[in-house]
Amino acid sequence: MGDPNAAPAARYFQPRRLGHVNLVVSDTERSMRFYNAVAGFEEAYRVAAIKGGFLSNGNTHHDIGMVESSGPSGRGRPPGLNHLAFELETEVDLVHGYNRAIADGLSFDRTLDHDISHSAYASDPDGNQCETYADVIRDWRNARNGVVTKPKPVWYPGLTEPCTERNYEIAPEIRRVEEAVFHPLRTKHATLVVSDMAAAVDFYTRRQGLRVLAGGASRPLTILGGTCGERNLALLRAHADLQPGLHHIGFELRDDADLDASLTRLKADGGSVDLHIEHPLRRAVFIRDPDGLRLQFFIDRPAPDSAWEDLDPQLALFLA
């Protein structure tokens, strides 16, 4: 097993950050309405062929994606995680990392041309699929809107000259859905419960290229991030009462006043809060989406990553 904080050359990819989370949902129409009117994301586009919907506030082409369980991408799976997506600097980085991994005998589930981005997919030890992608078009709003009908063919890394441009926005315009209950800045992190912490840390560091910010292979909690230095992925060790899988998605809010206003609006609309945590590291509010998936809306407090090291595992499960 490799060093989780090894030099970049020892890792296949160097992701900037978590780009989006894609879900399997039971009803795309219902979930799109919820993630717009309650969670506070703008609808960006639909892909009817896969019963897919995608939402963004401008941070990237989608912060949240979804496919319907009954559709060809859902494949009858129950609601839950479809994949996590990690954003690279350029397509050159994607092609080079892919080729090095293949040369070392590793395999990928698939590679796809999404028109605005190119992607390679691999599964972690628990079967959670991860997309590693690079944007190849900057003006995604004009390239992807309304109902997209263009097919997603297989992409062959390196078959054509890879794009050298950094096509993500460094300072994106974040839009606000004023009529929504919450007003997130972006999808910031995901929290997974994993069956084997050492194997998971090895996959997400060596294979995906994330860095350990807190914890590690021998600890009950590990927090990882990309080159932007954000806390993008939390891993918690499974036990008899805690099964592997997606625990929650974290949406970052602007400030306490914004969260307070959202809670007032939620109560007025007849909504309910699952859990509200006030902690020196993070203020976090949990609600459920239409399929019962946990969503965390949070504001971080100023603190070093090391401050997360000694959290009680039960608290860490909901705080991280």
Q: Could you tell me which residues are beta bridge partners of residue 284? A: 277, 298
The 10s digit of each residue's pLDDT in 35-61 is 999 999 999 999 999 999 999 999 999
One domain for residues 213 and 300: yes
One domain for residues 85 and 216: no
The 10s digit of each residue's pLDDT in 109-134 is 999 999 999 999 999 999 999 999 99
Average pLDDT (148-167) is 89
Q: Is residue 178 part of a domain?
A: no
Q: Is residue 236 part of a domain?
A: yes
One domain for residues 114 and 234: no
One domain for residues 23 and 129: yes
Domain final residue pick, 147, 170, 197: 147
One domain for residues 14 and 127: yes
Structural contact between residues 92 and 13, judged by C-beta atoms closer than 8 angstroms = no
Q: Is residue 171 part of a domain?
A: no
Structural contact between residues 10 and 49, judged by C-beta atoms closer than 8 angstroms = no
Q: List, as own/partner pairs, every contact residues 40-44 make where C-beta atoms lie below 8 angstroms and the sequence separation is at least 24, other chains included.
A: 40/176, 40/177, 40/180, 40/181, 40/182, 40/183, 40/184, 41/177, 41/180, 41/184, 42/175, 42/177, 44/141, 44/144, 44/145
Q: Is residue 181 part of a domain?
A: no
Between strands 146-147 and 110-113, the pairing is unpaired
Q: If we measure between CA atoms, which residue out of 96, 123, 127, 97 comes closest to residue 109? A: 123
Please tell me the predicted confidence (pLDDT) of residue 142: 87
Please tell me the predicted confidence (pLDDT) of residue 153: 80
One domain for residues 31 and 106: yes
Q: Is residue 85 part of a domain?
A: yes
Domain count of the chain?
Answer: 2
Q: What burial class does residue 149 get, using C-beta atoms within 10 Å of its C-beta: 0-12 exposed, 13-18 middle, 19+ buried?
A: exposed
Q: What percent of the chain has pLDDT over 90?
A: 88
Whether pTM exceeds 0.85:
yes
The 10s digit of each residue's pLDDT in 262-295 is 999 999 999 999 999 999 999 999 999 999 999 9
Amino acid identity for residue 191 in this structure = T
Q: Is residue 92 part of a domain?
A: yes
- The CATH number of whichever domain residue 64 belongs to comes to 3.10.180.10
Q: Is residue 141 part of a domain?
A: yes
Token pair of 16 as six digits:
């900037």
Q: Could you tell me which residues are beta bridge partners of residue 287? A: 295
Q: If we measure between CA atoms, which residue out of 287, 284, 288, 201 comes closest to residue 236? A: 201
Please state the length of the chain: 320
Q: What percent of the chain has pLDDT over 70?
A: 99
Enclosing H/E stretch for 233: strand 233-237
Which residue range is the domain that position 216 belongs to? 186-319
One domain for residues 135 and 197: no
The 10s digit of each residue's pLDDT in 243-254 is 999 999 999 999
Domain final residue pick, 99, 120, 147: 147
Token pair of 100 as six digits:
């090095």
Please tell me the predicted confidence (pLDDT) of residue 284: 98
